[in-house]
Structure 1
Amino acid sequence: MLVMRPAQLSDLAEVQRLAADSPVGVTSLPDDAGRLGDKILASEASFAAEVSFNGEESYFFVLEDTLSRRLLGCSGIVASAGYSEPFYSFRNETFVHASRELKIHNKIHALSLCHDLTGNSLLTSFYVQRELVDSPYAELNSRARLMFMAAHPERFADAVVVEIVGDSDENGDAPFWDAIGRNFFDLTYAEAERLCGLKSRTFLAELMPHYPIYVPLLPDEAQEAMGLVHPRAQVTFDILMRDGFETDHYIDIFDGGPTLHARTSGIRSIAQSQVVAVSLVAVDGVPAGAGRLYLVSNDQLQDFRGVVAELDWAPGRDVVLTAEVAEVLGVGEGDSVRLVAV
């Protein structure tokens, strides 16, 4: 069985293996043991902290095979984007250039560097092994962290954003970066993203142009790359769009990938999840009549767990779990779990 749980420092070697295979642009998963170790330690401290509002906390989860103890995925949440440093994006804008005398009225698409999204909660670090991309476990890896947010709303903002990795080729070259960023830094896109993963995006972002960039002046390849999704990021894009996220008026400053946005209360994994009592734990097998897959989590903090389970359940009823599912979740008769349909 695969279970989503908080990462532990003992997971470091496995997490680095996942990071090494993650696509260029996932700067929150650098292939560096020191940075990843700091990330896990910060997460452990956040899970252990008493929190009454969203601050500098970050939460990092892993997807584990309970039999082999091998990690097959990971994902994270930053409670407040830009809490310690500005969170930069390019804002899509339209400027109007008009001349009454010449009877000219033009709308010009432009990009402006901004940190409008600072303070929103941020979904980060999504990775799932390729054999799981088209499985319910990809949903578990993405949506269970939202179920965690539903269980602990005081820890997060009332809006959530996520940067989706944008267009780049197998050599790590990105048309959008080549048209803009590379003019200010003597770095390839892959080199810039690696540097940001090891250090910070802010110091590069602060050297980007702070005046509007007129999109019609960019090469066609760069314009076409705006809002495009990297093929390996398509899975998380699709899951989040189904969950109620929308492409907002912002794109990534390096590769032009889309930035998704949603009100926390409107995300389906949060709004449609239900807390249900466990009335009976089946001794073995699947409860009679089971036929629909659900994401199931406990509402705990440091011992948070999430799984995919086939259940015979209808709203207004208690839920019957198998002994295996109940054991993995750490629940029993009279406890409660949170459910949302796959």
Structure 2
Amino acid sequence: MQALRPVALSDLPQLRRLARERLLGVTSLVDDETYLLDKIQDSLASFAKAEASQGPENYFLVLEDLESGQLHGCSDILATAGFASPFYSLRNRPFISSSRELNIQHGVPTLSLCQDLSEQTLLRSFHVDPELAGTPLAQLTSRGRLLFIAAHPQRFADSCISEIVGYSNAAGESPFWEAVGQHFFDLPYVEAERLCALQGRGFLAELMPQYPLYIPMLAQPAQDCIGQVHVDARQACQILIDEGFTSTQYVDLFDAGPTLQGRNNRLRSIIHSRVTRSQLSPQSGQGRQWLLSNDRLQGFRAIVAPLDEAPGDAVGLDRAMLQALQLAPGEAVRSVAL
């Protein structure tokens, strides 16, 4: 059985492997020992924070095989985008010009650097091993974050956002970056993406143009990238859309991938999850799949498991499920159908 749990210092070597294998464009997960160590320590401090309030906290979760100890995925939650450093996006909206004499009004689509998405909760760092793509464990790795938010709502904003990786080719080249960012940074897409991960987005404000970019003036391959989802990011995107996230007018600075947004009071795993009493009950392993979690902070655990009966006044769990959730019979468990 596999469980989603808070990251630990001992996970560093395995996290480096996950970071090496992550999709190019996931800038919050980079194979750099110092960066990952800082990320782990920040997460440990966040889970240890006694005060239940929203701030700069980063809650980093890993998917662990409980028998082998092997990590097969990860994801994290940044409680407040833009709290510690500016959170920049590109806003895609038309610039309207008009002429009374000619009786013409025309809208030209533009991209403008902005910080509109600051103060919202950011879901990021999603990655699972390729063999888990499309499986319930991939959903656990992504949606388990929402179960944690449901258990501790005061630590997060009322809405969540997630940047989906945009198009780049097999050589790691982004047509959008080459048409836009390359001219201001003089760096290949791969190097710019790594620099952003290690140093944050602050340097973008110094070099990116402060005036709108007129989309029709970009090369057609760059225009085609705007809002496009990388083929290997479609799974991550679809999981969130199924949750209730929707596309916005904002795109990523580097590859123009879409930004999704969802109000917490409309997200499935938050509004439909229910907390009931657990009870020891043998399970056949043939029932419907459910996402299950405890509601703890540092001891948070989440699993996906087949239940013979839908949760009612109590949730029947076998011993392996209780152990994975670190629960004793009678303790509370949160559940939502997969």
TM-score (norm 1): 0.96
**Structure 2 equivalent of residue 302 of structure 1:** 298
Q: Does the aligned pair in 2 maintain the 1:108–1:214 contact within 8 Å?
A: yes
Where does 1:172-321 land on structure 2 (aligned, <5 Å)? 172-282=172-282, 285-286=283-284, 291-314=287-310, 316-321=312-317
Q: Figure out how many residues of one structure are paired with residues of the other and give that number.
A: 338
Please list, as runs of the form range in 1=range in 2, the aligned pairs for 1:28-43 lying within 5 A after superposition.
28-43=28-43
Deviation at 1:203, TM superposition (A): 1.0
The residue that corresponds to 2:24 in the other structure is 24
1:5-55: CA deviations, max 9, x gaps?
000010000000000011211111011011001100100010001133210
Look up the equivalent residue of 1:33 and give its one-letter code. Answer: E
Q: What's the counterpart of residue 118 of structure 1?
A: 118
SS at match of 2:149: helix
SS at match of 2:109: strand
RMSD between superposed Cα atoms in Å: 1.2
**CA–CA distance in 2 between the matches of 1:137 and 1:130?**
11
- Does residue 322 (structure 1) correspond to residue 318 (structure 2)? The answer is yes
Contact map agreement 2:294 2:332 (CA 8 A) in 1: yes
Matching residue's letter, 1:341: A
Secondary structure at 1:326's aligned position in 2? Answer: helix
Query: Which residue in 2 is equivalent to 1:336?
Result: 332
AA partner of residue 202 (structure 2)? T
Q: Secondary structure at the match of 1:206?
A: helix
CA distance in structure 1 between the aligned counterparts of 2:287 and 2:312, rounded to whole angstroms: 18
Contact 1:51 1:154 in 2 (8 A): no
Q: Which residue of 2 aligns with 1:10?
A: 10
Q: Does 1:150 align with 2:150?
A: yes
Distance 2:309 2:117 in 1: 39
Query: Could you tell me which amino acid in structure 1 is paired with residue 263 of structure 2?
Result: R
Give the superposition deviation at 1:86. 1.2
Aligned counterpart, 2:69 = 69
Conserved? CA contact 1:226–1:256, under 8 Å: yes
Residue 87 (structure 2) aligns with = 87
Give how far 1:315 is off.
5.2
Instruction: Give the counterpart letter for 2:46 in structure 1.
Output: S
**Which runs of 5 or more residues in structure 1 are unaligned?**
none
* Paired AA for residue 38 in structure 2: D
TM-fit CA distance, 1:266: 1.3
The Cα of 1:278 is off from its aligned counterpart by 1.1
Could you list the runs of 4 or more consecutive aligned residues of structure 1 that deviate by over 4 angstroms after TM superposition? none
Q: Mean alpha-carbon deviation: is it higher for 259-268 or for 205-214?
A: 205-214
- Which residue matches 2:102? 102
2:47 aligned partner, one-letter code: F
Which segment is superposed worse, 28-37 or 205-214? 205-214
Match of 1:52 in 2: 52
SS of the residue 1:87 aligns to: coil
Deviation at 1:281, TM superposition (A): 3.6
CA deviations 1:34-82 (Å, max 9, x no partner) are: 1001100100010001133210110000001111111000000000001
Q: CA deviation at 1:98?
A: 1.3
Please tell me whether the aligned partners of residues 22 and 127 of structure 1 are also in contact (alpha carbons under 8 angstroms): yes
The whole-number CA distance in structure 2 between the counterparts of 1:20 and 1:205 is: 28
TM superposition shift of 1:319: 1.2
Alignment partners' CA distance in 2, 1:127 and 1:16: 12
Q: Percent identity?
A: 50
Tell me the secondary structure at the aligned position of residue 207 of structure 2: coil
How far off its partner does 1:201 sit?
Answer: 1.8
Tell me how far apart the structure 1 counterparts of residues 72 and 205 of structure 2 sit (CA, whole Å). 32
Find the residue that maps to 1:11 and give its secondary structure: helix
Report how far residue 316 of structure 1 moved.
Answer: 3.3
Between 328-337 and 234-243, the greater mean CA deviation after superposition: 328-337
CA contact (8 A) 2:92 2:250 kept: yes
Query: Residues 253-276 of structure 1: CA distance to partner in whole angstroms, max 9, x if unpaired?
Result: 111000000111211110111112
Amino acid at match of 2:147: M
Cα pair distance change 1:216/1:237, threshold 3 Å:
same
SS state of the match for residue 101, structure 2?
coil
SS of the equivalent of 1:35 reads: helix
